[in-house]
Amino acid sequence: MPSVHSILNIGRWALFSSQTALQVTGNNIANVDTPGYSRQAVVFEEGISLDASCGQIGTGVYAKEVIRYFNEFIEEQYNTKASTQERWYTQYQALLSMDNLFNESMSQGINSATSQFWADWQDLSLRPEDYSAREALMGDTQNLLSAIRSTRNDIVRQQEQMDDYITQEVEEVNKILEEIAALNLQIQVHDIPGQNNANSLYDNRALLVRELAEKLDIDFVDSGGGDVTILTKAGHTLVDGSQVFEIKFEGSKTMKELAEGSTFDGEIFFDGSDDFEYTLEVVTGGQVSNASTAAVFRVSLDGGRTWMKDDDGNDLHYSARPEGGKVSVGDLTIWFGIDGDPSTAPANQLSAGDTFTIVPKTGLYWYENTSTCMNITPQIYGSGTDNQRRLIGGSLAGYFNFRDHYVGGYLEKLDAFAESMIWEVNRLHSQGAGLQNFNHVIGTYSVDLDNTALVSNSTGLAFGDKIQSGSSMVYIYSASTGELASSASYGPLDFGAAAGIQNFDPSQHSLEDVRDAYNRTFGNFLTADIVSGRLRIQSESGYEFAFGTDTTGLNAALGINTFFDGSDAATMGLNVNTESDLDLICAGHVNGAGEANPGDNTAALAIAGLQYEEVTIRTAFTGPTSQTLEEYFNVLVGTVGGDTANAEFNYLYHKALADDLDARQEETAGVNLDEEMSNLIKFQSTYTAAAKLIQAAEDMLQTILTLKS
C-alpha cells in the first residue's frame, strides 16, 4: 500500500541523488584543468520496487557509485608510445647541442682548420727554408689542435652532463616506484569495486605510471584493484603490488660466465674506460700466462654479435695475460688475476667458450635483491638495432643512447681521425729532414715493457701495431763540416749480430733490440739508450745525425723526428722537440748524395699530398674505412646532422602517435565544460523537481492532517 511517507522518501532520495550528481558535476568543473583527472559521473540505480495491491511500485532512485571515465586499453598503448616518444625527444634535444658543436655553416672549426693545415704544408713546399712559412704552419697546427681538443672536451662535457641527468632520473624512478607501491596498498584498503571506487587514487596512480613510462619502457599488468605488476619491456619487475624493486646507476663492473665444465678460478681486470661494453670470448683454452701457449680470446663491442676485426677482416685474437703483460684492447688494457688479487695469475685454465663482460663505464642495474643485479643499460648493436634485453624506451634510454652510442661513436671517430692524422703525418715526417741535424733526440712514445716485441699489444706502445719489417736509414755527419762523417757513417740499422745487415723483425724485436741496433751499427758515432720506456739517441761529440727512409715505421712509432705527439683527439699535440725548434720541421729529405738541402721540399710535398690521399681509418666499433681525412671528418659532421635529423623525425613521428592516443584518452576522460554546464542545468532541474515532490508530499500530509481537526 503506497504511503505519503514513501513519496517523501522518494523525494528525499531524489534530492540526495541530484545533489550528489551536482557535486560530481561541480567536481568535474573544478578539476577541468587538473592533470591526471578523469571525468566522473554518478551511476543512478532505481530503488527496489515493492509489491502493492496495484502491482509493483518503485521506491525512487539512489546514487549507486561514482565512476570515472578512463580507457585502460588506450592508456597502455599511450604509455608505450610515450616511452618511445620520450626516448627520441631526449636524444633529439641532446643531439641538437652536437649539431651545434659540429656546425661549421657559419663559423670556423675542425674542417677549416684542417684545410688550412694542408695549405700550410703547400706553402712550406713553396718556401721550405722560410721561417715565416714554418711559423705559420706551427700557429695553424695549434689552431687545429685546439679545435679538435675543444670539440672533444665539449663532447665529453655533454657526456658528463648525461651522467648527472641519469642520476636524477634514476632517483626519480625509484621514488615513483615507491609511490606507486604505496598507492597500490591504499587502493587495496579503500577500493570496493562497484561501491566505493577509489577514483582519485586510480587517477594518481595512472598519472605516476605515465611519469614512469616517460622515463623507461614498461608493461603494466593489471589484475584488479591494487594488484598490479609493472615490468620493464625486457621483463624486469619494478613494482609487484606493494613490493618495489630498485634500479641503480653504478660504476664499471665485470661479469663472467664460464662454459660448462670450465674450472677457471680467476677474474678479469681492466684499466681505462670506454663507452662500449666489451664481451670477451675464449676461443682457445689455456693458461693465463705470458707464454705463447696462453689462452686466446676474441672481443666484441656489441655483446657478441660482431667481433673486432683486423684490416683483412679476420677476427682479432688476444692472449690471456697476467698483470705483468696486460694487453691493450680498444681503449682498455685487460688482464686476468684472482678474486681480490689482480696481481696473481689464476692457477686453472681458461676453457674455450668462457665469456667475460666488461662494462667500463657507469651503467644501469636492476636489483632483484640486495646481492643479485642485472645489467639493463641500453645497448645498440652495430646494426643499429636495440638490445631488447635492456631498456629501450623512455628518457633514460635516450640519455644512455646519446651518451654511449651517439656521442661515444662520435668520440671514437674523432679519435680515429686524430689518430690517422698523427700517424700519416708522422710516418712521412719521420723520413724527412729539417734545416738542422740532431745531436740529441728522445722519442715521444713510450713502452711499458722494454724487452717485449714492439708490435705485441702488451707493450702499451700507441702505434706499435703499425710497425712493419724492414730497416731504418741513419746518416751521421761531422758537426764541423756538415759533410757525412765518413763513407761508412750512414746506412740501415743492423738488427742482429749475424753476418750481413739484419732487418727489423716485428714479431720478435723489442725496444732493447732497437737500442742495440743503433749501438751496433753506429756505436762509434752515437749512443742509444732507453729512458723510462723511450728511446734516446745522443751523438758522440763532433757528430750529428739525421734520419732517412724508414720502411719499418719505427721512428714514427717511437716518436723520433715526428711532427705530432699523442694517439687520439685527447692527447694529440705537437712533438715537443719540433714545437720548440722550427728547424726540426721536416720539409726536405736526405738525398742520394747524403745531403739535406735547404731548398728541398720533398717531405713537405708528400705531407701536403696527404690531403687527397685515401688513408685507412679504423674505429673498434665500425672497422676500417678508406677515405681522405677531410672526407672522413665531413662524413662525421654529416653523421651528426643525420642522427639529429633522424632523432627529430622519430620524435615527431612518435609524438604524433602518442598525441593521438592522448587525445583519444582525453575524449573519454576529459571534461567538456559545455557538457558539464548542461548536466548542471539537468541535475538542477531534477533537484528542483525532487523538491517539488517533497513539497507535494508535504501538501498531501497537510491535507490529511486538516481532515483530522
Partner 1 sequence: MRVSHRSRFTFFIDNMNMAMSDLMELNIQASSQKKVNRPSDDPVGMSRILNHRDTLESMGQYRENIETATGWLNIADEILLQVDTVITRLKEIAEQAATGTMGQDNREQVSYEARQLFGQLINIANTEYEGKHIFGGHKTDESSFVETLWMTTNDSNVAAAPFSITGNTEDTVLVRFLTDGDVDTDDLDYEYSLDGGKTFTQSTLAAGTNTLDLDGVLLTLTNGTTVSAHDPNISGSTDNGTWMWIRPTAQYMGDDQDSVLVDTLGPSTLNTAASGVFRENVIVRIDGDTALASNISYSYSVDGGVNWSSGHTSFSPATASSATLVVPGGYLTLTSNSGSLLAQGNQFVIRPQTGRIMFEISPGEEIQVNSIGKDVFGGIYQHPGSNAAGIVFGAGSQHNLFETAGNLVGYLETNNQEGIQQALENLRESNEHILNNAARIGARENRLQVADSVLQTLEYSETNQLSRIEDVDMTELMTQLASQQIIYETVLKSSSMIMRMSLANYI
- Coil, strand or helix at 30: helix
Q: Shortest distance, CB of residue 266 to partner 1, whole angstroms?
A: 39
Q: Please state, in angstroms and rounded to a whole number, the distance separating the CA atoms of residues 379 and 308.
A: 17
Minimum CB distance to partner 1 smaller for 471 or for 578 = 471
- Coil, strand or helix at 57: strand
- CA angle (262 as vertex; 260, 267 as ends), nearest 5: 120
The backbone region for 136, taken as left when phi is positive above 0, alpha when psi lies in -120 to 50, beta otherwise, is alpha
- Coil, strand or helix at 248: strand
Q: Shortest distance, CB of residue 604 to partner 1, whole angstroms?
A: 10
Minimum CB distance to partner 1 smaller for 96 or for 221 = 96
Q: Please state, in angstroms and rounded to a whole number, the distance separating the CA atoms of residues 88 and 76.
A: 19
Minimum CB distance to partner 1 smaller for 190 or for 520 = 520
Minimum CB distance to partner 1 smaller for 164 or for 483 = 483
Minimum CB distance to partner 1 smaller for 49 or for 626 = 626
Amino acid at residue number 441: V
- Coil, strand or helix at 513: helix
CA distances for 683 relative to 25, 98, 202, 302, 691, angstroms: 9, 59, 26, 64, 12
Minimum CB distance to partner 1 smaller for 264 or for 563 = 563
- Coil, strand or helix at 468: coil
**Which three cell numbers mark 192?**
570496493
Q: Shortest distance, CB of residue 336 to partner 1, whole angstroms?
A: 35
Minimum CB distance to partner 1 smaller for 150 or for 549 = 549
Amino acid at residue number 369: N
Residue position matching grid coordinates 608505450: 80
Minimum CB distance to partner 1 smaller for 221 or for 677 = 677
**Which three cell numbers mark 423?**
700517424
DSSP conformational letter for 495: -
**Which three cell numbers mark 106?**
657559419
Minimum CB distance to partner 1 smaller for 428 or for 690 = 428
Minimum CB distance to partner 1 smaller for 88 or for 102 = 102
> Are 475 and 457 in contact, with CB atoms under 8 Å apart?
no
Q: Shortest distance, CB of residue 293 to partner 1, whole angstroms?
A: 26
> Are 162 and 154 in contact, with CB atoms under 8 Å apart?
no
Q: Shortest distance, CB of residue 1 to partner 1, whole angstroms?
A: 43
Minimum CB distance to partner 1 smaller for 100 or for 243 = 100
Helix 629-669 with 72-101: angle, nearest 10 deg: 150
Q: Please state, in angstroms and rounded to a whole number, the distance separating the CA atoms of residues 410 and 158.
A: 12
Q: Shortest distance, CB of residue 584 to partner 1, whole angstroms?
A: 18
- Count CB neighbours of 432 within 10 A: 26
HSE at residue 624, side-chain half, CA atoms within 13 A, is 11
Q: Shortest distance, CB of residue 76 to partner 1, whole angstroms?
A: 20
Minimum CB distance to partner 1 smaller for 3 or for 100 = 100
Rounded to the nearest 10°, the torsion over CA 143, 149, 154, 158 is 160
Minimum CB distance to partner 1 smaller for 125 or for 328 = 125
- Coil, strand or helix at 565: strand
Q: Shortest distance, CB of residue 597 to partner 1, whole angstroms?
A: 3
Which ranges of 562-628 would DSSP assign to H, the alpha helix? 576-580, 602-609
Q: Shortest distance, CB of residue 152 to partner 1, whole angstroms?
A: 17
- H-helix or E-strand spanning residue 75: helix 72-101
**Which three cell numbers mark 609?**
699530398
Q: Please state, in angstroms and rounded to a whole number, the distance separating the CA atoms of residues 228 and 212.
A: 14
User: DSSP readout, 87-125?
Assistant: HHHHHHHHHHHHHHHT--SSS--HHHHHHHHHHHHHHHH
Minimum CB distance to partner 1 smaller for 77 or for 597 = 597
DSSP conformational letter for 272: S
Q: Shortest distance, CB of residue 148 to partner 1, whole angstroms?
A: 15
Q: How many residues are there in the chain?
A: 709
Q: Shortest distance, CB of residue 182 to partner 1, whole angstroms?
A: 27
Minimum CB distance to partner 1 smaller for 206 or for 238 = 206
The sign of the torsion formed by the CA atoms of 173, 177, 182, 186 equals positive
Q: Shortest distance, CB of residue 138 to partner 1, whole angstroms?
A: 18
Residue position matching grid coordinates 715537443: 576
Q: Shortest distance, CB of residue 427 to partner 1, whole angstroms?
A: 5
- H-helix or E-strand spanning residue 642: helix 629-669
Q: Shortest distance, CB of residue 560 to partner 1, whole angstroms?
A: 14
Q: Shortest distance, CB of residue 704 to partner 1, whole angstroms?
A: 40
Q: Shortest distance, CB of residue 44 to partner 1, whole angstroms?
A: 21
Q: Determine whether 171 is exposed, middle or buried from the number of CB atoms within 10 Å of its CB (0-12, 13-18, 19+).
A: exposed
Closest CA to 304 of 269, 350, 233, 353: 353
Minimum CB distance to partner 1 smaller for 113 or for 392 = 113
DSSP conformational letter for 266: E
User: DSSP readout, 357-425?
Assistant: EEE-S-EEEEESSSS-EEE----B-TTS-B-TTS--SHHHHHHHIIIIIIHHHHHHHHHHHHHHHHHHH
Q: Shortest distance, CB of residue 536 to partner 1, whole angstroms?
A: 23
Minimum CB distance to partner 1 smaller for 497 or for 705 = 497
